[in-house]
Structure 1
Amino acid sequence: MARRKKVYEGKAKILYEGPEPGTLIQYFKDDAAQSEQAPNQGTDGKGLEGKGVLNNRLSEFFMAGLNAIGVPTHFMRRLNMREQLVRMAEILPVDVVVRNFAAGEISQRLGIPEGTALPRPIVEYYYKDEKLGSPMVAEEHIVAFGWANQQDLDDMVALALRVNDFLSGVMLGVGVRLMDFRIEVGRIWEGDYMRLIVADEISPDNCRLWDLRGLETPDREGQVREPGPLNDVYTELARRLGVLPSNVTHTTKPTLIN
């Protein structure tokens, strides 16, 4: 079968024309996405063999779960090991980041020790421009430059916090702490009605995850292990959530590609 027309290619995904108007095929690559919310890769921009397969399954799991509880997303269905059918959306030029615990950039910026629980989930916005380093922006910037209006911002916060509640609960259930995450938000039209949806993907590429399992059990030296980044995050998270493909095992887990 001939490959459909390519619409867009990023570091971690390729979008192709979908089989029906208003749809796209999202293909997951093995390349590492550059994200402050994806510190567990340890790849320095290199690829991870098999990562695209796992991210396809993981994003399907999270997006389908959000759809099921009434949080709208662009996800329609998974097509194969690396592709899924999604709704076409107008992506807002602002990433939304939700932080539950201090880590990474916020710890460096404000001097808060990593792992500190924040008083409440903090929502931040980052302008999507890699040439500028995706700078953090305020609501005033977003409204003033016409990237979104105030109602959009209110809806974005509500959407992000619902995603946070869902992801935090799911992750905690498998012994993982959701430190922070990033989502993209898109606009879709249904007749004359416009609404915002969660787009792109939800995977370890845009989440910071710490392992909570075994914290109560002393190691051989009698020390209780502190929380820290989840090792082998793609395979281990897929295994804990029960979505690890049968042909991806401990012997074929993602490996570094030079």
Structure 2
Amino acid sequence: MELIYQGKTKDVYRKDANHVVLKFKDDVTGEDGVFDPGANTVGLTIAGVGRTGLRMTQFFFQKLQKAGVPTHFIEANLNDVTMTVKDAVMFGNGLEVICRYRAVGSFYRRYGAYCEEGQSLDGFIEVTLKDDERQDPPISDDALAELHIMSKEAYKEVKQLTKQIASIVKEELAKRELELYDIKLEFGKDKNTGEIMLIDEISGGNMRVYKNNTYIKPMELEQLLFD
């Protein structure tokens, strides 16, 4: 297969005209050797984290599809640590949509003058541009429309889907006495139909999860979720 993109945590290969294959790596985002799902650099490598992320992604994507949420997921191969997905058209050069239930990470760093760290949030949604050079700047719906990246109608749909997806993930984790603090999602449009769908992954690498106020690392999260 033709390698078409090398990402921080996944490589992308062309399978055919309508499908690509994602190869999950053992790299995670962070800084100075500390994992941070909101970081835009690879912070560390954790043996086995790629397979862990794929297993969780398969679990959540299948659950979302049963709930009627459109996704790019086709099938996963845990042995090869790959996932076959529908080809997607990005919004601009890519967007990240974050749903926050607690004031932590970059949210607290920006707005700490107005909130306490760990303060409850009502599923706050924010969108950032995927732009390493500019530190993934937050962007409003007005700016997205003005710059012809995403229409206001598409923004409303993505916001609704994000809340629905985050709620499903949050409820699933709560069954195991785990609390979702925040989750980072990505969306694109089906190349053939134009339908907005969830893309990328849902794993410990793109969410913060705590148990009894203690942060759960991505590898530990899989054990708590499936054991």
Q: Give TM-score scaled by structure 1 length.
A: 0.79
* In structure 1, distance between residues paired with 2:130 and 2:22: 20
**Which deviations, in whole Å up to 9, do the C-alpha atoms of 1:184-210 show, x marking residues without a partner?**
1010145xx421101011111110111
AA matched with 1:65: K
Q: 2:86 aligns to what?
A: 87
AA matched with 2:22: Q
Q: 1:219 aligns to what?
A: none
Stretches of 4+ aligned residues off by more than 6 angstroms: none
1:141 aligns with 2:143: yes
* In structure 2, distance between residues paired with 1:71 and 1:235: 26
Q: 1:97 aligns to what?
A: 98
* In structure 2, distance between residues paired with 1:229 and 1:80: 26
Q: Which has the higher strand share?
A: 2
AA matched with 1:240: L
Identity of aligned residues (%): 24
Ranges in structure 1 where 5+ consecutive residues have no aligned partner: 213-226, 245-258
Structure 2 SS opposite 1:237: helix
Structure 1 SS opposite 2:168: helix
Q: 2:124 aligns to what?
A: 122
Displacement of 1:44 in angstroms is 7.1
AA matched with 2:147: F
Match for 1:16 among 7, 13, 18?
Answer: 13
Q: 1:67 aligns to what?
A: 65
Q: 1:131 aligns to what?
A: 133
Q: Bigger radius of gyration, 1 or 2?
A: 1
* In structure 2, distance between residues paired with 1:85 and 1:53: 14
* In structure 2, distance between residues paired with 1:11 and 1:197: 22
* In structure 2, distance between residues paired with 1:96 and 1:34: 18
* In structure 1, distance between residues paired with 2:182 and 2:219: 19
Ranges in structure 2 where 5+ consecutive residues have no aligned partner: none
Choose between structure 1 and 2 for higher RCO, CA contacts under 8 A separated by at least 6 residues. 1
- Number of corresponding residues: 217
Q: 1:146 to 1:72 in 2, by over 3 A?
A: same
Structure 1 SS opposite 2:190: strand
**Which deviations, in whole Å up to 9, do the C-alpha atoms of 1:231-254 show, x marking residues without a partner?**
xx2332212222x7xxxxxxxxxx
Structure 2 SS opposite 1:175: coil
* In structure 1, distance between residues paired with 2:181 and 2:26: 24
Structure 1 SS opposite 2:59: helix
Q: 1:222 aligns to what?
A: none
Give the superposed CA RMSD: 2.0
Q: 2:36 aligns to what?
A: 39
* In structure 2, distance between residues paired with 1:91 and 1:63: 19
* In structure 1, distance between residues paired with 2:198 and 2:166: 12
Q: Give TM-score scaled by structure 2 length.
A: 0.89
Q: 1:28 aligns to what?
A: 24
Contact 2:186–2:199 (8 Å) recurs in 1: yes
* In structure 1, distance between residues paired with 2:88 and 2:11: 15
Displacement of 1:114 in angstroms is 2.1
Q: 1:211 to 1:155 in 2, by over 3 A?
A: same
AA matched with 1:167: V
Contact 2:27–2:44 (8 Å) recurs in 1: yes
